[in-house]
Chains A and B, each alone.
Chain A
């Protein structure tokens, strides 16, 4: 073997080694990191705000209590027309249901007063409500003293105001139109619930 032969061997090995390093250089290295998180289902509901502008026959508002000025008409002793709006700022971040409920199904007389024939001890009313482009009407018709509910399903997240318009017809009673009301205090609780369907 001559020096020339050596030189050829060395040269050929060096070329092979360089080719191998060139291949490694061409491949960038990558790492992938996942960032994860979650958002819980959430509904919020603020305290009610009674809108006195445009209201009819409203005496005062104290917190969450709306006092009707005169539930009965001085001449007929039957119910007077009454209107007011109440809004609840609300938000739900998922498909949800809004339910408006009347605890007693009408404005019922408080206490165990005997109701003479021809007199009435309850006043029916309607609570029409709108929310997130949908609407429904709760009819608290005072047919019996029991809870009534009306749901409204919204199949998307929503936020804004739930607006409830409460209306009492002139002369509406549970003893027929225009029946006189027995004296006393009449009361109901209107309840708004937002949550899962």
Chain B
């Protein structure tokens, strides 16, 4: 884009020079140069594409363990040059190798709240709603909008882990897995 505009300015100068000597003694030509910057958002790179929570159950009674700290990963180098909307959608951690529904009192799913913070002052968060088999009967998501351009890191963190029913025991499985999808888009309503 910058190269194209520069070419036009140079060409204008040459034509003005050529016309000045053989033509009128005083003349002028103006060239209006315009450019536009479209709205765009860019999500940067993940510091890690997975958050490993380790052992999910405690070894005394098989119920959900207390997950220490706030497991997180960071998306660095994100920006939007206009108003934006950040959306987060999470799915429960579900035992991938356990076939069928678990026995009564057991669960093959762990729910949690996923949050995206650092993009403006508000936090977008979404809480999963899986039943003991991991199925969710309603769709859900969390979002927040920002009216101004922003360039910042986004931290994706997990918290508030729970089982579908209080006291559920977790079935054994070496692979519990859920996904968190973060979407960053321009928000026309919030554009300056």
Contacts and interface: CB of A to CB of B under 8 A. Distances in A.
A35 B184 contact: no
B176 A37 contact: yes
A93 B57 contact: yes
A29 interface: yes
B62 A42 contact: yes
Nearest to A34: B50
B38 A35 contact: no
Contacts, number: 168
A29 B185 contact: yes
Interface string B61-74: 11000000001010
Interface stretch (B105-113, B118-126, B133-141, B145-153): B105-113
Given A39-B56, A42-B59, A21 B174 contact: no
Interface string A150-166: 00000011110000000
Interface string A17-30: 11011101100111
Interface of A: 1, 3, 6, 9-10, 13-14, 17-18, 20-22, 24-25, 28-42, 44, 91, 93-94, 156-159
Given A18-B38, A39-B170, 19 more contacts: A13-B5, A13-B8, A14-B34, A17-B36, A21-B38, A24-B38, A28-B185, A30-B182, A33-B49, A35-B50, A35-B53, A35-B71, A35-B179, A36-B175, A37-B176, A38-B55, A38-B56, A44-B62, A91-B62
